Amino acid sequence: DAGVIQSPRHEVTEMGQEVTLRCKPISGHDYLFWYRQTMMRGLELLIYFNNNVPIDDSGMPEDRFSAKMPNASFSNLKIQPSEPRDSAVYFCASSLAGAGRTPEAFFGQGTRLTVV
C-alpha cells in the first residue's frame, strides 16, 4: 500500500476563496482523521470518521470548515471562505481498530495551505 495520500501538497489561495483538501486513507483502515498543525498550537484534531461516519467534529474551528467521507477510500476537507489564519499544514491520518489491535495513526505527507 502506498500509505495515506493527500493532495495537493501545497496550496496557495487568496482570502475568501474556497479550498478543498483531499485524502485517500490506507486501504482497509476504518478510521480517518483530519489534523491541523501550526507552530503555535501543534497538532490539533479537527474531525474523525469511523466507517465513513463522522464521530467527533468538535475540533472543527467554525462553520467555514466542513469535511465529508463519501466512501471508504476518500475524504475531503473544505474551507469556505478561507482566511489568512487558516494557513497551516493539514494532515490526514488513518488507522485500523479491532480486537487485540493497538491503534496507530498513519499520516499522510500533509497539505501546506497558505491563504494570502
Partner 1 sequence: KNQVEQSPQSLIILEGKNCTLQCNYTVSPFSNLRWYKQDTGRGPVSLTIMTFSENTKSNGRYTATLDADTKQSSLHITASQLSDSASYICVPTEGGQNFVFGPGTRLSVLP
Binding site for partner 1 (CB under 8 A): 4, 31, 33, 35, 42-45, 48, 50, 91, 93, 95, 97, 102-105, 107-110
User: By C-alpha distance, which of 50, 44, 1 is closest to 26?
Assistant: 1
- Minimum distance, C-beta of residue 7 to partner 1, in the bound complex (Å): 14
- Minimum distance, C-beta of residue 113 to partner 1, in the bound complex (Å): 14
> Which residue number, 82 or 95, has a Cβ lying nearer to partner 1?
95
- Minimum distance, C-beta of residue 16 to partner 1, in the bound complex (Å): 28
> Which residue number, 78 or 112, has a Cβ lying nearer to partner 1?
112
- The answer to whether 59 and 88 have CB atoms below 8 angstroms apart is no
Amino acid identity at 27: S
- Minimum distance, C-beta of residue 69 to partner 1, in the bound complex (Å): 15
* 41 φ, ψ (degrees, to nearest 5): -115, 0
User: By C-alpha distance, which of 103, 102, 108, 104 is closest to 24?
Assistant: 108
- Cα–Cα distance measured from residue 95 to residue 33, given in angstroms and rounded to the nearest whole number: 8
> Which residue number, 72 or 81, has a Cβ lying nearer to partner 1?
72
